[in-house]
């Protein structure tokens, strides 16, 4: 089973994981970390510690979901997964991505799952209704 870690600014990641548990019930192998009040070095260490605490990650891998491309969370994640088990870092996390992750993580490998989740995240972004006219 591929594990997933949502690393975000503020409480965004914790809230996404909380909503997922409201929808699906408790799930194993899914966690959240915040950079709130933490240095980049601390966040990097927290990610490494979270990954190391899960024995299934060594065999199956991990997807790290990040809220913003190029931010401190993304930089910390890149450092944390270097030289470790199979991993993918996906930016722009949304609820659709996390739910799809939980649906497919047992049947796909990290590279295929990462591609699927990026596409799912893109599909989840759309405009409902008509924009105001000028």
Is residue 31 within 8 A of residue 128, CB to CB? The reply is: no
CA distances to 42, 46, 78, 115 from 26, in Å: 27, 22, 28, 25
Reduce the DSSP state of residue 87 to 3 states and report it: strand
Residue 128 lies in a domain: no
Per-residue pLDDT, 58: 83
Q: What is the CATH number of the domain that holds 114?
A: 3.40.50.510
Segments forming the whole domain that contains residue 103: 3-123
Residue 18 lies in a domain: yes
Residue 132 lies in a domain: no
Per-residue pLDDT, 133: 60
Residue 129 lies in a domain: no
Per-residue pLDDT, 71: 86
pLDDT tens track of the chain, all 134 residues? Answer: 999 999 999 999 999 999 999 999 999 999 999 999 999 999 999 999 999 999 888 889 999 999 999 889 999 999 999 999 999 999 999 999 999 999 999 999 999 999 999 999 999 999 888 777 66
Is residue 83 within 8 A of residue 116, CB to CB? The reply is: no
* Geometric angle at alpha carbon 3, from 86 and 106, rounded to 5°: 90
The number of folded domains in the chain is 1
Helix (H) or strand (E) holding 18: helix 12-24
State how far the Cα of 89 lies from the Cα of 8, in Å rounded to an integer: 12
Reduce the DSSP state of residue 66 to 3 states and report it: strand
């Amino acid at each position: 089973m591929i594990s997933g870690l949502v690393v975000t600014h503020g409480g965004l990641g914790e809230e996404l994981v909380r909503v997922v548990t409201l929808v699906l019930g408790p799930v194993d192998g899914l966690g959240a970390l915040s950079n709130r009040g933490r240095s980049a070095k601390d966040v990097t260490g927290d990610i490494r510690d979270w990954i190391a605490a899960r024995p299934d990650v060594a065999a199956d891998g991990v997807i790290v979901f990040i809220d913003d491309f190029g931010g401190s969370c993304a930089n910390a994640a890149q450092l944390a997964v270097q030289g470790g088990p199979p991993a993918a870092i996906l930016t722009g996390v949304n609820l659709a991505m996390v739910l799809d992750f939980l649906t497919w993580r047992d049947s796909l490998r990290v590279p295929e799952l990462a591609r699927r989740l990026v596409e799912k995240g893109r599909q989840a972004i759309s405009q409902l209704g008509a924009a105001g006219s000028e």
